[in-house]
Structure 1
Amino acid sequence: MSDTGAVESGSLGATTAPSAALTRSLAPGSLFRPISAEDEEQQPTEIDSLCMNCYRNGVTRLLLTKIPFFREIIVSSFSCEHCGWTNTEIQSAGRIQDQGVRYTLTVKAQEDMNREVVKTDSASTRIPELDFEIPAFSQKGALTTVEGLISRAISGLEQDQPTRRASEETIAERIDEFIVKLKELKQLASPFTLIIDDPSGNSFVENPFAPQKDDALLITHYTRTSKQDEMLGLQAEVPEEKPKEDDLKNEVLQFNTNCPECGAPAQTNMKLVQIPHFKEVIIMATNCENCGHRTNEVKSGGAVEPLGTRITLYVTDSSDMTRDLLKSETCSVEIPELEFELGMAILGGKFTTLEGLLKDIRELVTKNPFTLGDSSSPGQAEKLQEFSNKLDQIIKGNMKAHFVMDDPAGNSYLQNVYAPEDDPEMKVERYKRTFDQNEELGLNDMKTEGYETDLAPQR
């Protein structure tokens, strides 16, 4: 079969819908005949139409045909005898299917290169071995072969090469190298995989063994996403009413409280936030209009984890300071290089960056009233100044150090900038809590099963 989609320069000069003359030329029930070179009655209908290149009259030929074991399509071809402009495309004669379709073909022999392919304009084409993709709506629909698809891609890449060689020689050389690889595929230098993904469900790859199964061809039907429906111009389904739990994620809740500083009535804002690759947390913030006191606090939105978590980050440069960080109330912090350890509950729960937490630690230590004035011991101020200077060097990235977060409840988090891959500078350890740690968390005496029986009145 010849590649009817090998030449494409723009949109057709006339509409490709079947005209009344076309409908009258065929008997009822025979509008779409199975595609066949031996069917003499299957002749295209010719329609005069406007050439979009020279704006003179050309000819559009329409052929209504049916692909075996597939569905009806309209093949249209335009040519202008005045300027030589030509264009071809195919359109599905049916509706958009209920599901999208993905064809995965392993091309091993020349017979596979000759398979018929219907590729609509909404289909994307990929060849994983070359990391090559033709996005959806970047080409018109085509009735062609596997070899024709590759030839079409080569023609598209070669089209602007003379201009690239004059202005962007490096890019042109890379494209030349890639074109050579595509030509090697046509010669079947090695087997490759062709993937055609069409959300409309109207693309097709021939199975020469139909109706038997083709081991080289995998057909997958899938449900379209809302984004794919929008891309196809379909009206998105009205979303069902969300449960109240989901509404909380998109709403800031407020409740009345008293300011912890002056005791005046104030309001606390609370919101559920989903931390990527972690869990839900609750952020609470209070702002007192009477005295101006502001406070914020973070609590885990989930249960105590079965295992404790110990996170060790090797801080190597200032970019580590931008990592998001969640420190729960049960988390302790340690910096071995500074011989510093911050116990649980100190600073409370915080959702901030690593830089923000280190600055809070510096302020907590250097502004402690028991280390200033008459209460301070000799040499204490010098030690605090040295500690503050080293902490500044870590924040600026001039000093390498280890930052350790140990949370027996497993509810603390430090951002992995390589997620979902492992972070080479960060180590996350899960460990079994000791009896003392469970005691401190109040888990040893906590009973979550069978308490209904214990609370039942005795007879």
Structure 2
Amino acid sequence: MSVISEENVRGESVFSDISADNEDLQPTEIESMCMNCYQNGTTRLLLTRIPFFKEIIVSSFSCANCGWANTEIQSAGRIQDRGVCYTLKVQSKHDLNREVVKAECATTRIPELEFEIPPFTQKGSLSTIEGLIDRAVAGLEQDQPVRRATDPEVASKIDEFIEKLRKLKDVEDEFTLVIEDPSGNSFVENPVAPQRDEALTVSRFQRTVQQDMQLGIRADDDLEQEPDSNSVEAMRNEVLVFNTNCPECNAPASTNMKLVQIPHFKEVVIMATICDSCGHRTNEVKSGGATEELGTKITLHITDPSDMTRDVLKSETCAIFIPELEFELGMAAVGGKFTTLEGLLKDIKDLIVSKNPFVTGDSGVTGRMQKLMEFGEKLDKIVAGEMDVHFILDDPAGNSYLQNVYAPDPDPEMTVEKYTRSFQQNEDLGLNDMKTEGYQEEN
């Protein structure tokens, strides 16, 4: 039996990468009561990482006495700053194989059938699109014998609806799957990563007060309060320190927070966490001001290795594009950061290649592995100044920044465009009352 030891919790991370070469990656077995026959069964827990996503806990219960079994997942990370909504156009049977993490608090919808699975009605699951459909069918079929005896008409209508759900797996017609999760901890696989998935739309949204209460992060009587001007001024003059847990090994750590004024830009909040147990370091940046009236698109033509030293502020609402690599990184993928261009490119490589457990080991798909490794090599060439590319920051909130080394004069290799947000971008930012015009060049 595998045991989660104190040394593991206080030392290196207990969340292991998926790899056939890792012999230590064994589930933890716990004797527990079967809720079907009330005899003792076995629960197996596996703490692992999902590539391009985060850490999760997979639990599987089986009972040798009655044969009952079930599987569920729980997010091992914190509730995210914003909710997430995945909208997938299922166009072929291949799409049914996409991996899906559905948190317990997520709502699942299939608009074409007017079908919805409300939040907190199912346990969290690690499955595929086909698995989600099968689980929905199983849930509807569960009480059908009783309905046929007590209300045959309702049972007949449910049978018809179950047949419609089953036909979805034939994908004779395109249908839409929507997973909306206020905790931000659900996930739908992008099989063409690091390229953009044309069939999958990922949007972020601000939670409502009611959703905060459902997630237990706001008390029922918690009221919004205006910030104290004296406390804000104090924050500008000192580094605030508060206790937290390391996101890598869960050991106690400290987070430092400071308000910083970026020249020729605005005030931002920088938060840095250093773990003494495992050495993990993180930094996160949040805008100290409100959402701007216009979005900002910054395009830098990288022509010299010295460009790598430019300061970059990437907000959590900013997307990144490198057209020459056909690469797009959605908002919040690497969070808010204040670093150099070289540092940001290395963070992207870590996310896509270096820390992706599916690049190595028997679990890797040869074609995808080769594609990701080549992408990593191209990023290295950009950092070394051996590849001519355009680097684009597109922030609908207008809170991102790339240093102009010629300031206050114009930068010949950099353009900054201001544009009016689209309706969808306003939805993502929680701003629904703004105009939806096209791009507007900055004077």
TM-score, with structure 1 as normaliser = 0.46
Structure number with greater CO (CA < 8 Å, separation at least 6) is 2
